[in-house]
Amino acid sequence: MTEFVVACRLADVPLNGAAHVDVNGTPIAVAHTAEGVFAIRDVCSHADVRLSEGEVDGCAIECWLHGSQFDLRTGSPMTLPAIVAVPVYEVRLSGEGDDTFVEVATTPTDLTVQPQTL
Ligand code: FES
């Protein structure tokens, strides 16, 4: 059974933006999109930089250093120079209103992640 931990408050992640969180020692980028909330390891597969410092565009996050985009649902690179997928994590939301929390799975999945919708 998948274990989840509270990563942050949803209000801490701007819509169409991302935030860096630490989940049991693993750096995670939580992305808040119109399609839902996603979690992807916060390390680009091309070099050791944070994806959370890049831009979120639809269901993609763009690495700020060389511009590779990664699909937030699968972690797959959509543009060069990155060619290796980044692990993604299942997300669920708990609470409501200002006390809505983002919970992130402690282990990655290589399956397409269904986003949590509000
Ligand atoms: S470091 Fe991310 S694309 Fe190069």
How does pLDDT run across 5-42, given as a tens digit for each residue? 999 999 999 999 999 999 999 999 999 999 999 999 99
Q: Which residue's CA is the closest to the ligand 1 atom numbered 1?
A: 47
Rounded-to-integer distance, Cα 3 and Cα 5, Å: 7
CA dihedral 10, 103, 93, 16 (to 10 degrees): 40
Residue ranges and CATH numbers for the domains of the chain are 4-105 (2.102.10.10)
pLDDT tens, residue by residue, 40-64: 999 999 999 999 999 999 999 999 9
pLDDT tens, residue by residue, 74-116: 999 999 999 999 999 999 999 999 899 999 999 998 554 455 5
Task: Give DSSP secondary structure letters for the chain.
Answer: ---EEEEEEGGGS-TTEEEEEEETTEEEEEEEETTEEEEEESS-SSSS--GGGSEEETTEEE-TTT--EEETTT--B-SSS--S---EE-EEEES-GGG-EEEEESS-B-SPPPPBP-
Q: Looking at the chain, how many residues does it have?
A: 118
Would you say residue 117 has pLDDT above 90? no
Please state the pTM of the whole predicted model.
Answer: 0.92
Q: What local confidence, expressed as pLDDT, does residue 96 receive?
A: 95
Residue 112 CA to ligand 1 center (angstroms) comes to 22
Ligand 1 pocket by C-beta < 6 Å: which residues? 44, 46-47, 49, 63, 65-66, 68, 81-82
Alpha carbon of 10 to those of 47, 54, 66, 80, 105: distances in Å? 28, 18, 28, 31, 16
